């Protein structure tokens, strides 16, 4: 991606994060280009999910910087110093980043359509008629248009996760983050969620995916990043990192997961 700085969608520079005395991220440098799909692999506790939460401003970084479309996230630079953004500006930045979690995090008292349209109405100020039409389009996009009036408790895990993806898409994000989106699903439901993600990738959505689905990462990713103990150990095309890893830690991890 050298020489293509103008096409960068997300840039993390020397990002650190600690919880108490435990340093979870130890200087992460990662660029993601416009339309690129990057999968993060690694053992539990390696910092993958924490990194996603830092990108989405759900966690405040302790050092370094993260940029989206060239804009510093979470802070504003004035007089050579960084100042935390106010809540309104933080919400504006976060609206440009869609995130799908392990647990579906749907509002149980709202039906599928209401889950999808709440943010466009309350944050995006879209009128209810337009929001309903838009919401139905998004539910159709993820293959659950016929479940618009169903509540989360009436949906399978795969259907709930597809509604969650539609909700994440509702604010028209420029970057989508997926944190182990299939880990809470029964095995027979995993494929329907991965199919939706494949479609998004084919449509040019910029995506960062934390996953243990090695075959999926190989098939959908432009680049695979292997993390361990808060650092990036190895990065490259799937054929290199997954099929011909260069680092002993990567080889050991993949030998356990295959």
Mean pLDDT of the 59-68 span: 95
215-233: pLDDT as tens digits:
999 999 999 999 999 999 9
What stretch of H or E contains 28? strand 22-33
**CA atoms of 240 and 224, how far apart (whole Å):** 9
Q: What does the pLDDT read at residue 258?
A: 65
Mean pLDDT of the 120-146 span: 94
Q: Classify residue 150 as left (phi > 0), alpha (psi -120 to 50) or beta.
A: beta
Q: Classify residue 251 as left (phi > 0), alpha (psi -120 to 50) or beta.
A: alpha
pLDDT at 6 over 50: no
% of residues, the chain, pLDDT over 90? 83
Mean pLDDT for the chain? 93
**CA atoms of 3 and 22, how far apart (whole Å):** 36
| Residue 23 pLDDT grade (very low, low, confident, very high; cuts 50, 70, 90) | very high
Is there a contact between 40 and 217 (Cβ–Cβ < 8 Å)? no
182-212: pLDDT as tens digits:
998 998 899 999 999 999 999 999 999 999 9
Q: What does the pLDDT read at residue 1?
A: 36
Mean pLDDT of the 75-104 span: 89
The pTM (predicted TM-score) of the whole model is 0.93
């Amino acid at each position: 991606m050298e020489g293509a700085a103008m096409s960068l969608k997300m840039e993390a520079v020397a990002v650190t994060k600690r919880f108490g005395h435990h340093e979870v991220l130890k200087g992460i440098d990662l660029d993601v280009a416009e339309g690129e799909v990057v999968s993060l692999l690694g053992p539990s506790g390696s910092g993958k999910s924490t990194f996603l939460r830092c990108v989405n401003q759900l966690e405040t970084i302790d050092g370094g910087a993260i940029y989206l479309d060239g804009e510093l996230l979470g802070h504003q630079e004035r007089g050579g110093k960084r100042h935390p953004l106010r809540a309104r500006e933080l919400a504006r930045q976060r609206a440009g980043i869609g995130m799908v979690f392990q647990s579906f995090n749907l509002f149980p008292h709202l039906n599928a359509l209401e889950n999808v349209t709440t943010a466009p109405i309350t944050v995006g100020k879209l009128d209810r008629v337009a929001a309903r039409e838009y919401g139905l389009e998004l539910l159709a996009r993820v293959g659950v248009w016929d479940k618009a009036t169903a509540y989360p408790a009436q949906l399978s895990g795969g259907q709930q996760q597809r509604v969650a993806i539609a909700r994440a898409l509702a604010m028209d994000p420029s970057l989508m983050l997926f944190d182990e989106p299939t880990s809470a699903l029964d095995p027979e439901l995993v494929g329907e969620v991965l199919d939706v993600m494949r479609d998004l990738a084919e449509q040019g959505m910029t995506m960062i995916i934390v996953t243990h689905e090695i075959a999926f990462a190989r098939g959908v990713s432009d680049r695979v990043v292997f993390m361990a103990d808060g650092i990036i150990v190895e990065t490259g095309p799937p054929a290199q990192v997954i099929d011909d890893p260069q680092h002993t830690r990567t080889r050991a991890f993949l030998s356990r997961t295959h």
